[in-house]
């Protein structure tokens, strides 16, 4: 039985840093039964983080695009992300718009979110690394 995962920026950064949490991500990526997805907005988050840390953003971009299926953003996903963002912000004051995209993408793919980000605490279909 295969499993589907949407990786958020937190998971990708841990993976790229080679941390203990990142090794858990690596195990999922390398499991041939796993389908790994990444929201296109997550690429922007990780690239920005790499530039701010003075690391090569191409390394991050190449790792993400070669190890996952990219979910491109269209107007319907954007509408749903806006609705989800407004809904969750009522409970989680600093919940980011990029996190809302991850939530919507996980729903579209019927996938589990793979993260370590506390903003996803209590969210359905979320696996913490």
For each of the chain's 129 residues, which pLDDT tens digit applies?
469 999 999 999 999 999 999 999 999 999 999 999 999 999 999 999 999 999 999 999 999 999 999 999 999 999 999 999 999 999 999 999 999 999 999 999 999 999 999 999 999 999 999
Q: Dihedral, CA atoms, 112, 118, 123, 124, nearest 10 degrees?
A: 30
User: Judging by DSSP bridges, how do beta strands 34-39 and 69-71 pair with one another?
Assistant: parallel
- At residue 69, the pLDDT reads 98
pLDDT of residue 102: 98
38 has which bridge partners?
Answer: 70
User: How many C-beta atoms surround the C-beta of residue 129 within 10 A?
Assistant: 20
Q: What's residue 22's pLDDT? A: 97
Pick the CATH number of 3-128 from 3.90.228.20, 2.60.120.260, 3.40.50.150, 3.40.50.1010: 3.40.50.1010
Q: What are the strands of the beta sheet with 34-39, ordered from one edge?
A: 69-71, 34-39, 3-7, 112-115, 126-128
Domain extent listing, the chain = 3-128
The H or E element containing residue 84 is helix 75-89
What does the pLDDT read at residue 1?
Answer: 47
- Tell me what pLDDT residue 3 has: 94
């Amino acid at each position: 039985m295969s499993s589907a995962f949407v990786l958020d920026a937190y998971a990708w950064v841990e993976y790229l840093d080679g941390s203990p949490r990142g090794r858990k991500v690596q195990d999922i990526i390398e499991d041939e039964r796993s389908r790994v997805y990444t929201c296109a907005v997550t690429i922007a988050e990780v690239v920005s983080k790499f530039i701010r840390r003075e690391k090569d953003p191409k390394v991050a971009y190449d790792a993400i695009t070669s190890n996952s299926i990219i979910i491109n953003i269209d107007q319907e996903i954007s509408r749903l992300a806006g609705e989800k963002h407004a809904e969750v912000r009522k409970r989680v004051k600093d919940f980011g718009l990029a996190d809302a995209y991850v939530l919507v993408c996980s729903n579209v793919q019927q996938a589990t979110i793979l993260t370590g980000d506390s903003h996803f605490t209590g969210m359905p279909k979320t696996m913490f690394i």
